[in-house]
Structure 1
Amino acid sequence: MPHLPDKIFSTPLAQVPDFTFNEDVVRVFPDMIKRSVPGYPTIVENIGVIAAQFAQPNTALYDLGCSLGATTQALRRHVQQPGCVVHAVDNSSAMVQRCREHLSAQDAMYQELLPVEVIEADITQLQLAPCSVVAMNFTLQFVAPEQRLELLKSIHQSLLPQGALILSEKLRFDNANQQELLNDLHLAFKRANGYSELEIAQKRRAIEKVMLPDSLAEHQARLQQAGFSQTILWFQCINFASLIALP
């Protein structure tokens, strides 16, 4: 299945359905994410770099909400600790199938990569093994708000001392002027990447009830409530950010 340009919302739709990670999205996902998320390639590659600082020998590493496995691939490229296994988890069967294909292709390109297990599962119901690194790259925002704290508590309980959670999310801003400015800048980013006003408007209607972002303060407070001792903002580009949370 070749990757195609993202044209999902390029024609007028009588009724815009809620956004789902289905087969249509899978086919265009690399193009969609690159043109929609400022700094995405930098975030993904550096998750691997950061993970290498926290990964411990003979432990599990998790990529929760792995989609097509870009973060999993970064973990496998950068983590050199012996005995580690990456567990890539997603609840979309279409994503899981394609992720397995991507990782098989990576195996053919690189030698001595960490082993990986790709799992189709709901991450809110998953029993995590003791682990040294958990990555959630633009995943928590798709989890129901009432389930987010319990998920983070589960991750915290599973993280080994000196481990880390790496959490990337779209941010909303409590200050109305900041919210308006950064939202406008994000729309400008999309236009600069070739999306039309129709595509932008229809995508917004599709995703507005599905993806519910939090503010940075809400993330920090929830992580503290879940038991994390420290939260470090290591990256922000417009209204997208990534945090390191320490147990």
Structure 2
Amino acid sequence: MIKRDSLFAEPLTQVSDFVFDEKVVEVFPDMINRSVPGYQSILHGIGQLAARFAQPHSNLYDLGCSLGAATLAMRQNVAHIDDVKLIGIDNSPAMVERCKLHLQGYRSAVPADIRCEDIRDTRIEEASVVVMNFTLQFVPPAQRDALLAAIFAGLRPGGVLLLSEKFKSPDPAMDEVLIDLHHQFKRANGYSELEISQKRAAIENVMQPDTLSTHQQRLQRLGFHQPQVWFQCYNFAAMLAVKP
């Protein structure tokens, strides 16, 4: 049974920065589905795109794998491809331990190696698919270029980066429209005004979104071919970028 997210339901005397600790792990599936518009559609698309771009005898990475939802989506779609290996990375010990349990619950011939480490320290090798599903936004902005450059270097020609992100609009008025729509989505999913306000305060110092144009220009600058948005709902988008 999925445990309901009520972490911010009661007034807090001080709202601390958001961390992916044991309390978040317990409610994470409910939290992300009630907070991220189109999350299940994105996971479905990740599975489809992994099946399309995965190459025989290659590695498939899920950077910031959390509980392994994207890892599992890939695993369920690439079993027909010879000698592929899944590698999931997360820096939260609580997330990694629960992710391993989730993956053990699904039999598959596709091996999966789940590691607890900082994705900035991960060596990307012989990769045909790299997934960052709402991960880059938690990396300090000054370090994003270097991380994506390392991913590009570790991808095989024809390999793909699947990048999902919350983004901001360059126009402040339009940004408020998108934020309001997102908050309406959360209200419709049962979050109170208090929960929305306290969660926003907790996450604003640890999550720094870019604009869509910043993402696309950066990826092109690093060598990816014509980064493409394949899903968008409000201020959430999923992109794919192929290495020539």
TM-score relative to the length of structure 1 = 0.96
Q: CA deviation at 1:126?
A: 1.1
The residue that corresponds to 1:10 in the other structure is 9
> Alignment length, in residue pairs?
242
* Whole-angstrom CA distance in 2 between matches of 1:106 and 1:203: 32
The residue that corresponds to 1:50 in the other structure is 49
The residue that corresponds to 1:102 in the other structure is 102
Q: CA deviation at 1:113?
A: 3.6
* Whole-angstrom CA distance in 1 between matches of 2:124 and 2:173: 40
Q: CA deviation at 1:226?
A: 1.9
Confirm or deny that 1:170 pairs with 2:169. Answer: no
* Whole-angstrom CA distance in 2 between matches of 1:245 and 1:219: 10
Deviations 1:217-238 (A, max 9, x none): 0001111222212201100011
Pairs within 5 Å for 1:128-207? 128-207=124-203
Confirm or deny that 1:229 pairs with 2:225. Answer: yes
The residue that corresponds to 2:212 in the other structure is 216
- Aligned residue type for 2:82: P
Deviations 1:22-45 (A, max 9, x none): 000000000000000000000011
The residue that corresponds to 1:40 in the other structure is 39
Q: CA deviation at 1:3?
A: 3.7
SS at 2:24's partner residue?
A: helix
* Whole-angstrom CA distance in 2 between matches of 1:119 and 1:49: 24
The residue that corresponds to 1:84 in the other structure is 84
SS at 1:106's partner residue?
A: coil
Which consecutive unaligned segments of at least 5 residues does structure 2 have? none
- Is 1:77–1:113's contact at 8 Å kept on the other side of the alignment? no
Which consecutive unaligned segments of at least 5 residues does structure 1 have? none
Deviations 1:17-65 (A, max 9, x none): 1000000000000000000000000001110101111100010000000
The residue that corresponds to 1:63 in the other structure is 62
How many percent of aligned residue pairs carry the same amino acid? Answer: 53
What is the alpha-carbon root mean square deviation over aligned residues? 0.9
- Aligned residue type for 1:104: Q
Poorly superposed stretches of 4+, deviation over 3 Å: none
